[in-house]
Chain A
Amino acid sequence: MSRPHVVTSSELQSLRDLELMTRATVEGLRHGLHRSPFHGYSAEFSQYRHYRPGDDLKYVDWKAFARTDRVYTRQFRETTNLSALLVIDVSRSMDFPQQSAMSNEQSGRSKFTLATTIAAILGTLVLDQGDAAGVLATADRAHFVPPRSGHHHLRVLLSELSRLAPSGTSAIDSALRHAATLMKRRGLVIAVSDFYEDEAAITQIRRLRRMGHDVVAIQVLSKEELSLEVGGAAEFIDLETGRKLLVQPSSARESYARDFGAWLANVEREIRRDGIDYLRVITGEPLEPALRRFLIGRRSAAS
């Protein structure tokens, strides 16, 4: 099946062996790889409970009855499929570095391209493992692909991702607020953004977490942003507000790097505080090792 060019096949193939395991309990409709809050009768033992009339006798633990003279019924954790929603920041701040402005210094992809690539990879992984994946982006209008499973849905997912373009000033927090209303069951929410609207975004992430969703925050940044790698005096134009500043980077670089680093550390600390997974991805750096480390880490935590 041909796929829209959001992600390269090599990037996908390198991560095919990994699974996107959810660390939290998710509510699915089908049996799957992930733990469900509902106790059922699958292979994974969960707990004992006192026998109640009507319980199936085949789940009565007779050995326990012999030891304790009490009748217990074995309960098993029901595994279910995962419903993942990829929430992508499509604000103008993600459109950096722009090829026209940075052609002499950086030939890599922009933050937005990297964000859609990550979403495509994770969406493909989710669908490949039989789970449901959807996309939500709130720009001038909402782009929403409801989470569904099946390989036929992959094309829909990737097509929507390829149609996305950075526009407007709509922040990621509004998309996350929207996601909270769309996710009826507990699932996985993956927020991909630069998180410049950090306070509002973190508030919404925590809200989703409190609602029981497994939330992953992926912060996408460009290499130039980290250390103000811009040569010569330039008129900096805020991509979202259009505000202009004349800056001599050589004199501003030191304080910029210090402030930016402190802000990054604060964002990461605030996100991780509630046990929310955090991943920082930098443009120009290899994506596959970073994602691999992240997915392996989640699998370890889930097991």
Chain B
Amino acid sequence: MSITWLTPAVLAGLALIALPIAIHLLVRQQTRSLPYPSLRFLRETALAAFRRRAIQDAVLLVCRVAVIAAAVTALAGPVLHTASRTAGYANRLSQATIAVDSSAALPSAEDVFRSATFNRTAIADAIGDALRWLDAQPPSSRAVVFSGAFRRGSISESDLAVVPEDVGIRFAPDTPAAAANQFTASSLTRRNGLLVRVDHVVGVDTDSTRVGDGVVVAVPQDRIRVVAAPADQGLAEAALRAAIDEGVPWTTSDRRVLIVWEGADTAAIPSQGAELVAMPVPNPPASAARATWNAIDRATPRTFVDPVLIPREQLQSWARPPGRPSPTAIPADEGDRRWLWAAALALLGLEHFLRRERAVAHSTGAASAEARVA
């Protein structure tokens, strides 16, 4: 069994123990040594009374010291690590839930020991926050739960690589699994002067969009354009192409989006009714597809069809159970200090009782002495 302290600096307060000791030393009845020819006529009753008082003083001192010690150690927050308690650490779970999509319905966290939710625009930032929060939790099993629809591109294996081995990973998709590979896309079109809604059942592979009924649902390039300087025009076009190739979901309406570099003077750009969306210059260029995707994702209104999702099998392959609690985890208050507070209160009561007994004995002795004199 070991013991750790939540606020070990408070233990410096144990120096206060010196206070009652010093007071006892200062106010104790001073006795001197007196060589005497013979002790045969000195009465034992006087001796017994003296010793009784000395013992009483010692008990009183011990009580006062113990009260201070118990109070200080209670304030320091002791945490006892017993074998059973250490085993119990593995049975409780600290869970950090990350909302991958803003529309994600967060999973219930009723059975977990500690839980928190993190929602950041960038998934990497959310994971970083979650890991920092988990590191600050008391000893327990730890897991990161990703919640959302898990559209393709919303999370990748490289994002999960930063999660330590002893932190479990779980995915809580908020859409049926079947929709990941097959969904219905609706579109409005004019036929013979009428506005007609056409539903397409679309099947999706992991790496390409497959037309279910012969109608290709893809982003028409003329609906999204990137405004860039001539020097960056090639990069912008490549980024847009890569994003579309990855299957960015798109509405079948006539909506147009104009992507501009962040920091560009948007007032000077003739949008011609298109929505302007800012996008950071991709750096490195390999991240251009993701940046473009995110930029399109931020465009409004979101009248998208069901997105292309990451397959459930892929999510399951990334998932793993929580590991053993970290031995370096910061201990939590397990309530051990309440016993010390109880002990301090009990000792305080005992000290009060002893002090009163002593005062009563003293007054009785004085009264008898006065009676003798009288």
Measured CB to CB, the residues of A under 8 A from B are 93-96, 98, 101, 111, 194, 196, 222, 225, 230, 232-240, 243-248, 250-252, 254-256, 259-260, 263
A239 pairs with B36, CB closer than 8 A: yes
A255 to B43, CA, bound (A): 7
Main DSSP-derived SS at the B contact region: mixed
A252 to B40, CA, bound (A): 12
Q: Write the chain A residue with the least CB distance to B40.
A: A196
Residues of A within 8 A of B40 (CB): 196
Residues of B within 8 A of A238 (CB): 36-39
Whether B49 is near chain A, meaning CB under 8 Å from some CB there, is: yes
Count chain B CB atoms within 10 A of each CB in A111, A222, A244, A248 and give the residue with the most. A248
Residues of A within 8 A of B365 (CB): 251
Measured CB to CB, the residues of B under 8 A from A are 29-43, 45-47, 49-51, 54, 365, 369, 372
A95-B35, A222-B37 known; 17 new pairs, CB 8 Å cut-off, are: A232-B32, A234-B31, A234-B32, A234-B34, A235-B33, A235-B34, A236-B39, A238-B39, A245-B42, A246-B47, A246-B51, A247-B42, A248-B46, A252-B42, A252-B43, A252-B46, A254-B372
Q: Determine which of A232, A236, A251, A254 lies in contact with B36 in the assembled complex, contact meaning CB atoms within 8 Å.
A: A236
CB distance from B362 to the nearest CB of A (A): 12
B32 pairs with A236, CB closer than 8 A: no
A233 to B33, CA, bound (A): 9
Residues of B within 8 A of A96 (CB): 35-37
Residues of A within 8 A of B32 (CB): 232, 234-235
Residues of A within 8 A of B37 (CB): 93-94, 96, 111, 194, 196, 222, 225, 238-240
A230 to B46, CA, bound (A): 14
A98 to B34, CA, bound (A): 9
Q: Write the chain B residue with the least CB distance to A244.
A: B33
A264 to B365, CA, bound (A): 30
Q: Write the chain B residue with the least CB distance to A243.
A: B39
A247 to B50, CA, bound (A): 7
A248 pairs with B38, CB closer than 8 A: no
A127 to B32, CA, bound (A): 45
Q: List, sorted by A's number, 5 A–B pairs whose CB atoms are closer than 8 Å.
A: A196-B40, A234-B31, A235-B31, A248-B46, A256-B41
CB distance from B31 to the nearest CB of A (A): 5
A34 to B293, CA, bound (A): 144
A268 to B37, CA, bound (A): 19
A60 to B50, CA, bound (A): 80
Given A251-B369, A255-B43, also A237-B34 (CB < 8 A): yes
